[in-house]
């Protein structure tokens, strides 16, 4: 019984570390890791269903044939519902001066030296090499570029 408890604690620790890693990853890495998670979930569900209902194995080729024949419709629906156009989203809009000042935590009368000092202080805290997020780093860089031209 003690072995199960130790195994559970180790498994929970690994899952927590993996979750923290996912949260602090960039957007592209997050998408890749999310796809991997869904793949494992689908694989696990498939294995559970196959162990409970062995007849499912004989249906798998038919499912692949149906998916292959309907691939154009599936791709069309995926583009409409799943793959949104992010060019119109707030992620790719150019940053204005007010947003840049809010990100750096400065007032409108900040000098060039104040901007650079605040940027460097925030980069020391939020750099990806020190456990920070790449997204935050990109926003800080974009704010500096906006304010300094």
Least confident piece of the model among 58-62, 92-96, 116-120: 92-96
**Containing domain of residue 70, as a range?**
55-83
Give pTM, 2 decimals. Answer: 0.41
Ramachandran category for residue 131: left, alpha or beta (phi over 0 → left; psi -120 to 50 → alpha): left
Predicted confidence at residue 136, as pLDDT, reads: 87
Is 128 inside any structural domain? Answer: yes
- Which DSSP string do the residues of 61-119 spell out, in sequence order? HHHHHHHHHTHHHHHHHHHHHTS--GGGSTTSSPPPHHHHHHHHT--TT--HHHHHHHH
The mean per-residue pLDDT over the stretch 58-78 comes to 85
- Predicted confidence at residue 86, as pLDDT, reads 46
Same domain, 102 and 143: yes
Q: Are residues 45 and 78 in the same domain?
A: no
Q: What pLDDT does 131 receive?
A: 79
Structural domain includes residue 90: no
Asked whether the predicted pLDDT for residue 6 surpasses 90, the reply is yes
CB atoms within 10 A of CB 46: 13
Q: Residue 129's pLDDT is what?
A: 83
Domains in the chain: how many in total? 3
pLDDT of 83 over the 80 cut: no
Same domain, residue pair 101 and 74: no
How high is the mean pLDDT of the chain? 84
Q: Note whether 100 and 143 are within 8 A (CB).
A: yes
Domain identity same for 3 and 35: yes
In a domain, 89, yes or no: no
User: How many whole angstroms separate alpha carbon 91 and alpha carbon 31?
Assistant: 15
1 lies in the same domain as 17: yes
Average pLDDT over residues 9-32: 86
Instruction: Kindly compute the dihedral angle of the four CA atoms of residues 140, 145, 146, 149, in this order, to the nearest 10 degrees.
Output: 160
Q: Is residue 78 domain-shared with residue 105, that is, in the same domain?
A: no
Residue 124 has pLDDT above 80, yes or no: yes
User: If pLDDT is split at 50, 70 and 90, which confidence band does 88 have?
Assistant: very low
CATH number at residue 118: 1.10.287.110
Q: What is residue 20's predicted lDDT score, i.e. its pLDDT?
A: 86
Pair of tokens at residue 145: 């570029």
Torsions phi, psi for 93 (to 5 deg): -70, 145
Round to whole Å and give the CA distance between 60 and 15: 31
Does the pLDDT of residue 70 top 60, yes or no?
yes
Using one digit for the tens of pLDDT, what is the confidence trace for 98-121?
888 888 888 888 888 999 999 999
Kindly tell me if the per-residue pLDDT of 89 is higher than 70.
no
Asked if 107 contacts 101 with a C-beta cutoff of 8 angstroms, the reply is yes
């Amino acid at each position: 019984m003690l072995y199960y408890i130790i195994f559970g604690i180790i498994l929970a620790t690994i899952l927590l570390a993996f979750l923290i890693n996912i949260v602090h990853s960039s957007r592209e890495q997050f998408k890749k890791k999310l796809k991997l998670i869904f793949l494992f979930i689908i694989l696990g569900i498939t294995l559970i269903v196959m162990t409970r209902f062995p007849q499912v194995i004989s249906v798998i080729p038919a499912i692949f044939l149906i998916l292959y024949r309907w691939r154009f419709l599936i791709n069309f629906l995926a583009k409409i519902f799943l793959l949104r156009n992010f060019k119109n989203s707030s992620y790719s809009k150019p940053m204005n001066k007010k947003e840049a000042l809010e990100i750096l935590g400065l007032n409108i009368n900040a000098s060039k030296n104040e901007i650079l000092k605040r940027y460097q202080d925030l980069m020391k805290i939020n750099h990806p090499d020190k456990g920070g997020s790449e997204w935050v780093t990109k926003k800080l860089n974009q704010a500096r570029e906006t304010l300094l031209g």
